[in-house]
Amino acid sequence: MVQVKDLHWKKDMRVSELVDSYENVGFQSVELHRASEVIVKMKKDSAKVFLTFTSNMVTSGLRGFFAQLIELGIADVLVTTVGGLEEDIMKATGEVFSIGTFNTDDVELHERGINRVGNLLIQNQSYMNFEDMITDILRKLHAKQKRWSVSEMLREIGLLLDDTNSILYQAAKHDVPLFCPAITDGAFGFHLYLFQQENPDFIVDVVQDFGNILLTTSYDDRKGVIALGGSISKHHAILATLLNGGAEYAVYMTTAHRTSGSMSGANTSEAKSWGKVKDESDIATVIGDVSITFPMAMTHALDELYEEGLLNIENK
């Protein structure tokens, strides 16, 4: 049985050394260390890795980290929500978001044309600029073909961007399928609707894309899931692995709790009852702010993969 050991700081301590020490600290630090080890195991076992995240993480500074992980070959399949894609496109075209506080006067923000996501602030003008750009993009897509699955459409948009910190750009460049099952749940969806009113032959097929995500793996593939946050992005990936035999590896990171009975709060152990992850799978659930927990666990995993010669960063 693992013994509790006291944590001690030392000069120039690396993130990996800190996360290693978490194995003996207790509480969520143990789960964070385990999450990192499960990520390493899924990569060493050549499992097909589903990385899911919600839009608020793209609002934050994790966007570039996700893009880097795609470039490094960590993710084989991506699933997210539409707000993150909108904001990925905004940032790819130079929009910047600000950091405020959680206690800002929201009525005052509204009067100033500013939207708040936690302690992050986005100008209305950024969405207006997005609207101008997305209409032009949809015209180009419509001219090329009339019917698109969501992932095919997102790949085409990624090819139009020129930003190495863009999730869409890196996914398209490295041929990593990017799924957004609720593509209409945001400004992007509203403009898809408006464009289709003028161009009824323009079809974005969500059902076809469900088939596409099922075909990204087979029943016999080993599968891993890294689910950051909850919502439809988490469920869509897990459902795909369930219909293909269940995942061998699963890491959930979230602030939601299992006591809510929601999909967002369901932990990796509960997933076994559904067959979403296999009975003998390696699992970890970390309760905490993903903007803190994920970079720590992932940095530890990247260091370990690099030291074992499993991560090529020379040309990155």
Radius of gyration of the chain (CA): 20
Q: Taking all residues of the chain, what is their mean pLDDT, rounded to a whole number?
A: 96
Look up residue 59 and give its two tokens. Answer: 């609002």
Helix or strand (DSSP H, E) at 67: helix 63-71
Taking the C-alpha atoms of residue 166 and residue 87, their distance in angstroms, rounded to an integer, is: 10
Model confidence pLDDT, tens digit, residues 15-34: 999 999 999 999 999 999 99
Strand-pair category, 120-123 with 98-99: antiparallel
Instruction: Give residue 50's identity as a one-letter amino acid code.
Output: F
Q: Which of 43, 48, 276, 278 is catalytic?
A: 276
Average pLDDT over residues 298-305: 98
**Digit-coded pLDDT (tens) for 202-219:** 999 999 999 999 999 999
- Could you read off the pLDDT of 263-286 as tens digits, one per residue? 888 899 998 999 989 999 999 999
Amino acid at 159: L
Which pLDDT belongs to residue 98? 97
Domain ranges of the chain: 15-94+126-308
Two tokens at 139? Answer: 């015209």
Q: Which of 95, 123, 97 is nearest to 110 (CA)?
A: 123
Q: Quick check: is 146 catalytic?
A: no
Residue 23, burial from CB neighbour count under 10 angstroms (0-12, 13-18, 19+): middle
As a whole number, mean pLDDT of residues 137-160 equals 97
What whole-number distance in Å separates Cα of residue 209 and Cα of residue 181?
8
* pLDDT for residue 316: 61
For residue 259, what is the DSSP state? G
Ranges 3-17, 45-59, 146-160, 270-284: which has the least confidence: 270-284
Q: Are 155 and 212 in contact (CB under 8 A)?
A: no
Task: Give the C-alpha separation, 95 to 169, whole Å.
Answer: 16
CATH code assigned to 15-94+126-308: 3.40.910.10
CA dist., res. 192 & res. 186, Å (int) = 10
pLDDT higher than 70, residue 36: yes
H/E stretch holding 274: helix 268-274
Terminal-to-terminal C-alpha distance of the chain:
41
**Distance between CA atoms of residues 277 and 92, nearest Å:** 35
pLDDT over 70 at 192, yes or no: yes
